[in-house]
Amino acid sequence: MSDHWTVRKLDHLGRECLSYPARPLFQAPGAVLMRAVWNRPPMELEYVRLEPGDLWLETFYTDRWYNVFEIRAPDGRLKGRYCNITRPARIAPGEIRAEDLALDLWVDPDGGVRVLDEDEFARLPLTPEERAAARQALEGLLRAPLACWEDPRPEEVVGHLLRERGLTLAAAESCTGGLLSHRITDVPGSSDYYRGSVTAYANAVKERLLGVPRDVLETVGAVSRETALAMARGARGLLGADLALSVTGIAGPGGGTPQKPVGLTYIALAAPDGEWVEEHRWTGDRSANKAASASAALALLRWYLAR
């Protein structure tokens, strides 16, 4: 794939409203994941502030009535995710054209949603079939607002990027109990870049195998930024990997406190050129919280590899 593409955002009549350069990261049948950088002046919206240097990871589909993009600050902080309801994109080598139908969905970092621009959508002169297709797309997104960022599967994307860059990966898991490792190794050929993982459920294992300091576990606890980062550092050193992810949290339904409620999760990434920790507060059941944590870890790695 060429590294120099143009994304053209069009209105419902096919008139260009916005265009910008982007680089393809991963292409699958009917879909392409693009990398773009917000290079315009700051823009204050009700739900997010766009700033120069923000990284957009945007997926377009040829068979869906939407496109989606994740927005991260230059330091990796997840600002949120945005869904444009559009006609199916036209993807050709070097160019993407997407006709926006006004209706949008904003998803905050932990999954809360708000529907945008319904009045504008209602005024568009669409055919009944188009209006129904757009509404159906929105309803599908609302049923599973984080699922659309799972296609193309992030484990396939990061696998492709790790192989492309010649990097290796390790993991340390607590609350996800091996789910993150399962997803990574579900990709054929993942042995090319994946070293392995430590499922450190007990504090003693975190301390003995991963080198999490005892005073960290005793003072701030197993579910903390400090522990997540120490787990990632430990896995990277123990398994001899270039990069390492870690996850520690309270999956539920029990185990929460007022200070650390069920769903609180920390995800860390350790790399040669930096370290990052995210805090999330999931609101699902045990299975949903574990799945969301594994997805968030893969999303953090995807951002790092796309920078």
Backbone φ and ψ for 191, nearest 5 degrees, come out as -65, -15
Q: What is the mean pLDDT of residues 60-78?
A: 96
**pLDDT for 75-131, tens place per residue?**
999 999 999 999 999 999 999 999 999 999 999 987 889 999 999 999 999 999 999
* Cβ(17)–Cβ(7) below 8 Å: no
* Cβ(73)–Cβ(93) below 8 Å: no
d(CA 224, CA 277): 10
Q: Which residue matches tokens 């944590």?
A: 293
d(CA 184, CA 132): 37
pLDDT band for 144, please (50, 70, 90 cuts).
confident
pLDDT at 228: 98
Q: What is the mean pLDDT of residues 277-286?
A: 95
- Does residue 162 register a pLDDT over 70? yes
* Cβ(33)–Cβ(57) below 8 Å: yes
Query: What's the whole-model pTM score?
Result: 0.95
**Which of these, 86, 218, 201, 214, lies nearest to 148 by C-alpha position?**
86
pLDDT at 149: 80
d(CA 297, CA 287): 16
Instruction: Sketch the domain layout of the chain as residue ranges.
Output: 5-150, 154-306
In the DSSP assignment, the letter for residue 285 is: -
Q: Residue 11 CB: number of other CB atoms within 10 A? A: 14
By mean pLDDT, which of 117-121, 133-137, 144-148, 286-290 is the weakest?
144-148
Residue 238, helix vs strand vs coil = helix
36 class by beta-carbon count within 10 Å (0-12 exposed, 13-18 middle, 19+ buried): middle
271 class by beta-carbon count within 10 Å (0-12 exposed, 13-18 middle, 19+ buried): middle
* Cβ(69)–Cβ(81) below 8 Å: yes
* Cβ(210)–Cβ(185) below 8 Å: no
Amino acid at 32: V
Q: What is the mean pLDDT of residues 225-230?
A: 98
Percent of the chain beyond pLDDT 70? 99
Residue 122, helix vs strand vs coil = helix
Q: Name the strands in the sheet holding 194-199, side by side, starting at the edge strand that comes first in the sequence.
A: 194-199, 169-173, 243-249, 264-271, 274-281
Write down the CATH number for the domain with range 154-306: 3.90.950.20
Class of domain 5-150: mainly beta
In the DSSP assignment, the letter for residue 147 is: G
d(CA 261, CA 258): 6
- Does residue 1 register a pLDDT over 70? no
pLDDT band for 267, please (50, 70, 90 cuts).
very high
d(CA 249, CA 58): 28
**Which of these, 92, 94, 114, lies nearest to 104 by C-alpha position?**
114
Q: Residue 244 CB: number of other CB atoms within 10 A? A: 29
d(CA 76, CA 70): 11
Q: What is the mean pLDDT of residues 18-28?
A: 96
- Does residue 286 register a pLDDT over 80? yes
Mean model confidence pLDDT for the chain: 96
